[in-house]
């Protein structure tokens, strides 16, 4: 597919929109279907598309495997960290009311933050899995 000009240009144009859509699915997740998990998968799809068209090596220059693994761990720390912060602010674990003066906004920020953690982890795990499968039989042996 690397020779097809339409595919190459098309993938390039689509990629930023896919990433935008992933963020939309995440930030609009508390009003409409969606959330961190779906957003993470869509975000991975953007890079998977690039890898299919431009090859694995090109994508790994932009998104190195160590970074996807870091993301996988970072997301859990974000999620758990929100809980720790609410505990330090004197509420129970994941008591989002602590995050703002008005509990309504506190709940809103809290859910967005933990979903961000989910997004980062899902993105990291999905991309790592994609790299593992796509790289099979190439780098090793």
Partner 1 sequence: MAGAGEGTGRVTAQLPILQVVVPLLAAPICAVLRHGRAAAWLAVLASWSVLAIALALLGQVMAGGVVSYHIGDWVPPIGIEYRVDIVNAWVLVIVASIGAVVTPYSVASVEHEIASRRIPLFYAAYLLCLSGLLGITITGDMFNVFVFLEISSLSAYALISLGRPRRALTAAYRYLIMGSVGATFIVIGIGLLYVMTGSLNMADLAGLLPGVWDSRTVKVAYGFLGVGICLKLALFPLHLWLPNAYAFAPSPVTAFMASTATKVAVYMLLRFFLSIFGAAFSFDVMALDRVLLPLALVAVVSMSLVAIFQVDVKRLLAYSSVAQIGYMILGLSFASITGLTATLLHLFNHALMKGALFMALGCVVYRIGSVHIDAMAGLGKRMPWTMAAFVVGGLSLVGVPLTVGFISKWYLILGALEKGGPWIAVAVLVLVTSVMALVYVWRVVEAAYLREFSGDEPTGEAPLSLLAPTWVLVAANLYFGIDAVRTAGVARQAAEVLMAGIGS
Give the contact letters, 93-112, x = binds to partner 1 (CB under 8 A), - = no: xxxxx---------------
Residue of 29, 76, 67 lying closest to 47 (CA atoms): 67
Distance CA 65, CA 136 (A): 14
Identify which range of 23-31, 42-50, 52-60, 79-87 contacts partner 1 by CB under 8 A: 79-87
Distance CA 97, CA 104 (A): 7
Among 7, 56, 87, 134, binds partner 1 (CB under 8 A): 87
Distance CA 115, CA 20 (A): 16
| Binding status of residue 74 toward partner 1 by CB under 8 A | yes
Residue 62 belongs to what H/E stretch?
helix 56-62
| Binding status of residue 1 toward partner 1 by CB under 8 A | no
Between 15 and 107, CB nearer to partner 1: 107
**Contact residues: partner 1, CB under 8 A:** 69-70, 72-74, 76-77, 80-81, 83-84, 87-97
């Amino acid at each position: 597919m690397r020779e097809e000009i339409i595919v190459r240009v098309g993938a390039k144009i689509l990629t930023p929109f896919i990433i935008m859509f992933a963020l939309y699915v995440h930030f609009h997740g508390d009003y409409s279907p969606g959330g961190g998990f779906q957003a993470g998968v869509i975000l991975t799809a953007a890079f998977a598309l690039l890898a299919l068209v431009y090859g694995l090596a090109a994508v790994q220059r932009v998104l190195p495997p160590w970074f996807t693994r870091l993301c996988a761990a970072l997301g859990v720390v974000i999620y758990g960290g929100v809980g720790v912060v609410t505990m330090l602010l004197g509420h129970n674990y994941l008591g989002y009311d602590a995050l703002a003066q008005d509990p309504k906004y506190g709940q809103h920020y809290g859910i967005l933050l933990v979903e961000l953690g989910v997004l980062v982890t899902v993105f990291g795990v999905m991309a790592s899995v994609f790299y593992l499968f796509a790289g099979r039989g190439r780098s090793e042996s």
